[in-house]
Amino acid sequence: MLRVEGLTFSFPRGGRSLADISLTLSRGDVTCILGPNGAGKTTLIRCLLGALSPASGTVTVDDIPAHGLKARQFAAKVAHVPQSTHSVFGHLVRDIVLMGRSAHLSMIEAPAARDHEIAEAALERVGIADLADRPFATVSGGERQLCLLARALAQEAPILIMDEPAASLDFGNQIRVLGIVTSLARSGYAILMTTHHPDHALLVGTQVLCLREGRIVGAGAPRALLSSTFLSELYDAPIRMLEEDGVQACVPILPQDLTEEILQNA
């Protein structure tokens, strides 16, 4: 559904360039993009969304060049869930979710009953229907993230691009979001998400794409690719993979001399 081939991008004044990025995202996929800060994850998302223009390469949606789609056509196929957003107009949670229907309405068309039904169903699906009449600015960070996800679902686009959907969330809300991601993929959505948590790729990813300095340094099935050695090289820090009862997790390890110092001062 979404295909990227040989994408290259660079800012005029340098910083977070991309070189020869290729990936394919199909229905049922959860592709997780990993990499250290400055690797180019957000820059890649901005290129996919059309906010930045690649120097070379192609981005196609259902075999149609993305740059050839009008904004409304693109929005009917691809929805974006940002890390966070703010409302300065006092919008209610239901108002924010209803905005997802704008891709299906003309500039002068008001949401109809059907649009309200779709928005309500999206709120139900992410579990925050009880917050519908709360001002968006007053709900917690985790609830805002779920609201933004509901807005994307109300858009009814089959491709979801999510920029660190579990950033700054507690464990409970992380699991909640990841559970929704898994459910959406099983129902036929194609999902691309950036994350700073390799554990999340192990939990929900069907494939993983690892970036470092704007280049792909690894791609494949999470359990096959993500090892202690690979992750340590990716993040330039000692990381150990652990497994118990079939569940894998990665743990950052403090340098030996620092560990000994902490133990001596304990």
Percent of the chain past pLDDT 70, that is, above it, reads: 92
CATH number of the domain encompassing residue 89:
3.40.50.300
> Which amino acid would we find at residue 151?
R
Q: Which amino acid is at 260?
A: E
pLDDT tens string 31-48: 999 999 989 999 999 999
Tokens of 193: 């998400």
User: Does residue 263 belong to any structural domain of this protein?
Assistant: no
Residue 241 Cα distances to 198, 199, 200, 217, angstroms: 10, 10, 13, 19
Domain count, the chain: 1
Q: How confident is the model at residue 263, as a pLDDT? A: 58
At 229 the pLDDT is: 94
> Does the residue 228 lie in any domain?
no
Task: Using alpha carbons, list the distances in angstroms from residue 35 to 18, 39, 125, 227.
Answer: 13, 6, 30, 14
How far is 29 from 158, CA to CA, in rounded Å?
11
Q: Are 20 and 213 in contact (CB under 8 A)?
A: no
Flag whether pLDDT at 93 surpasses 70. yes
Cα 36–223–234 angle (5° rounding)? 20
Specify the pLDDT at position 261.
Answer: 58
Q: What number is the average pLDDT over the span 81-99?
A: 82
DSSP string, 22-85: EEEE-TT-EEEEE--TTSSHHHHHHHHTTSS--SEEEEEETTEEGGGS-HHHHHTTEEEE-S--
What's the chain's average pLDDT?
89
Which tens digit of pLDDT belongs to each residue from 113-132?
999 999 999 999 998 999 99
Q: Which domain holds residue 177?
A: 2-222
Structure confidence at residue 103 (pLDDT): 83
Residue 262 lies in a domain: no
Query: Is residue 92 assigned to a domain?
Result: yes
User: How would you write 145-183 as a 3-class SS string?
Assistant: HHHHHHHHHHCCCCEEEEECCCCCCCHHHHHHHHHHHHH
pLDDT value of position 21: 95
- Whether 237 is in a domain gets the answer no
Whole-model pTM? Answer: 0.87
3-class secondary structure, 245: coil
The CB-side HSE value for 215 (13 A sphere, CA atoms) comes to 3
Can you give the pLDDT at residue 247? 83
In a domain, 82, yes or no: yes
Q: Which residue has the higher pLDDT, 102 or 35?
A: 35
pLDDT tens across 143-202, in order? 888 999 999 999 999 999 999 888 778 888 888 889 999 999 999 999 999 999 999 999
Q: Residue 259: is its pLDDT beyond 80?
A: no
Task: Indicate whether 35 belongs to any domain.
Answer: yes
Give the confidence band of 104 by pLDDT, cuts at 50, 70, 90: confident
How far is Cα 120 from Cα 174, in angstroms, rounded to an integer? 22
Highest mean pLDDT among 9-18, 102-111, 150-159, 246-255: 150-159
Kindly list the distances between the CA atom of residue 28 and the CA atoms of 15, 186, 229, in Å, as whole numbers in the listed order: 33, 6, 29
Q: How many C-beta neighbours within 10 Å does residue 171 have?
A: 8
- The answer to whether residue 15 is domain-embedded is yes
What pLDDT sits at residue 260? 57
Overall average pLDDT of the 81-95 stretch = 79
H helices within 89-238, ranges in order? 93-98, 113-126, 141-154, 171-186, 198-204, 222-225, 228-235
